[in-house]
Amino acid sequence: MAVEQGVAISIGGGLDKTSSSYELFKTPGSATRLKNFEASSSGGYRRINGYRRFLISPVVDFTIVNGGAGYDSGTTVNITDSEGNGSGATATVTVSGGVITAISLTGAGSGYQIAPTVSFSATGSSVTTTAEITANLNVATTPTGSTSPINGVYSYNEGLWACQNGNIYWTENGYTWTQVNKDYGTPSAGVTTTQQATEEADETWTATWATAAQLASATVVTLDTTARYQFSEYVPSGVPDARITAVNGADAPVYLETKLVGGTRNFRFHRGLYDAFGLSKTTPVYANIPKPQYTTVHLDHTLLGAWSSKSETLYYSTRYDDADFNGASAGSINVGDKITGLRTFRGQIIVFGVNSLSRLLNITSSSTIAMQDITKNIGCLDGFSIAEIGGDLVFLAPDGIRTVAATARIDDIELSSISHKILPVITNIVSNLGDFDLSATVVRTQNQYRLFYCNSTTGVVAQKGIIGTFKITPQGIPVWEWSEVQGIEVTTMSSNFDTNDTEIIHHGDYDGFVHFHNKGNSFNGSKISAEFRTPDIDYGDIGIRKTLHFTKLSIKPEGTTDINLDVRYDFEDADLQQPSTFPVGSILEPSLFGTALFGTSKFGTPEVPMKRINLLGSGFSNSFKFTSNDINPPYSIQGMYVDLIPASRR
């Protein structure tokens, strides 16, 4: 008689699209499908967070859905932000005949990203029907009011810069936008009113600070409507506010500054034109002004590259002046390959080329400055794929995602391929690179590199990306675990820190909206469809049929869950009758000391509950598929125990 057996499976390893079925028998916790999950820092796979439109608002008014019944005239209004971002909103209610007939806003508060909850206290003891009242916030808008794509976004302190339809805007709330690509300043002589006209008249333009009201009547500087932006940030010595360099490959470099003066937001905008590059103003030729696509900052120099007319030329500003490329310590150098990206890496400048990687040496010494080859065999396909994580640079090469990493040897650099397990996905990106807009960022708190490859003609639900999570195994081995994302439309991304040193990530889309990235439990209100599928598991012997009895799932919820489990036998053999879906049901969220609330949280639940699911069917191997499609909080699948009865060998 067969003896009942149990097998424990540790979930981990990430998406694997290259190993054979027999190789995957050795890694039952890996995934052959991992959509809208991420490798969790605490083990297993976690359903990802969502995104929502960028909005920081006070409460503006209320909507009475149901006035309730039985309320006392002394009823008190409680306004609570479940996420803890907003505060300060207050209100009073008018009660007539026990019904709440009006609610008056007495304090708008600030900082709300989602509508706060409205509840009541001191209601008396006669309430028979609970009132339902919703708080309303301002509505997030696009910068221009149109639906053209966001071509650049840069998160900065209290707000962000966003580029749309040839204009550059500043916002701190997502519904009030200030257009800043306007000339506001004075010429050294004459009556010209724009920087370009002033310099072409052989005079000097001085950009001055302006409020939003002053900019409203200033002259707009026309910029390319479709070019995509990259940014660098330089903080001049002795100046508390940074200056942002914005480049798009079609226009002269743009410099953006903002600061608060007596509580009023001020801006300063200017461009790098003839004076910046030491070009002739007596016979000015606008076409001679460099129009770079990439920028970075290193040792108090700003670097620019990838101008289509001089694609191999790297420009560097004079030291301590990011807008002067004609000073004593400024210059340019030919790197010997078409530039596809620039990044600072551990005290060095890495210059990415189509077919090579090199580094710029001795930028502070004009007599010894030089380029040094790192490799002539590997290049970067797209500078928008470059990001820094954990001190290493990650980028898209022709053969996959690679890292630029330092070694123990001084000044030595190691190039590693980290995406072999998702090679079919990478091959699709590389083969169709011209069809995609690439955007990359890092999620520092989760050790993640995220790369999105989107197309303006593809619907939102079909837009895709990949997530690579850097982890250290229990054996001390560094590994990358991969997963796929579907349903997030990204045209540009930015990751930075706000004024509280909290990491904040934004992304733009093709409809002109800017979003909080990696925040919330939905895709801007839509359900998150997630799927994790294990490889077929043979439990050590593919030659023996097994009848599955039950499984115990180790799932860590972060709130309400609605998960389904499917079991498929023998590589989903169509000739077998496969069992129906097994609902996992609700899993109680654990109550942790310091965070649990008495009267709200459920006590007595372990931090990682085990949920038993009785199973049906038999086969020589089987896979498990976990799915969810909802706007519930994330959950992590960390392991499973399978109880089975093996049959005799056939």
Domains and CATH numbers, the chain: 5-49+530-649 (2.60.120), 56-137 (no CATH)
Is the model's pLDDT at 93 over the cut of 90? yes
Is the model's pLDDT at 603 over the cut of 90? no
Q: Which pTM was predicted?
A: 0.94
Is the model's pLDDT at 241 over the cut of 60? yes
Instruction: Give which of 106, 80, 82 is closest to 93, Cα–Cα.
Output: 106
Q: Residue with structure tokens 């999620």?
A: 443
Enumerate residues 6+ apart whose C-beta is below 8 A from 57: 86, 112, 113, 137, 138, 173, 174, 175
What are the residues facing 104 on neighbouring strands? 92
Which range (180-184, 211-215, 408-412) has the least confidence? 408-412
Residue range 262-283: mean pLDDT, rounded? 97
Is the model's pLDDT at 590 over the cut of 90? no
Contact 428, 436 (CB under 8 A): no
Question: CB burial class (10 A; 0-12, 13-18, 19+) of residue 308?
Answer: exposed
Enumerate residues 6+ apart whose C-beta is below 8 A from 635: 46, 47, 555, 556, 557, 558, 561, 563, 587, 628
Contact 2, 544 (CB under 8 A): no
Instruction: Give which of 231, 237, 206 is closest to 320, Cα–Cα.
Output: 237
Spatial strand order of the sheet with 310-316 comes to 294-298, 301-307, 310-316, 331-334
First to last CA, the chain: 15
What does pLDDT average to over the chain? 94
Render pLDDT for 302-351 as a digit per residue (tens, 0 to 9).
Answer: 999 999 999 999 999 999 999 999 999 999 999 999 999 999 988 889 99
Secondary structure (3-state) at 239: coil
Residue range 605-622: mean pLDDT, rounded? 88
Residue range 546-556: mean pLDDT, rounded? 96
Is the model's pLDDT at 24 over the cut of 80? yes
Is the model's pLDDT at 599 over the cut of 80? no
Q: Give the C-alpha separation, 120 to 64, whole Å.
A: 13
Question: What is the band of 202 on the pLDDT scale with cuts at 50, 70, 90?
Answer: very high
Take residue 106 and report the two structure tokens written for it: 């007495």
Take residue 167 and report the two structure tokens written for it: 């204009």
Q: Say what the alpha-carbon torsion angle 450, 456, 458, 460 is, to the nearest 10 degrees.
A: 60
Q: Give the C-alpha separation, 122 to 211, whole Å.
A: 46
Q: Residue with structure tokens 């599928």?
A: 533
Amino acid at 641: Y
pLDDT for 464: 98
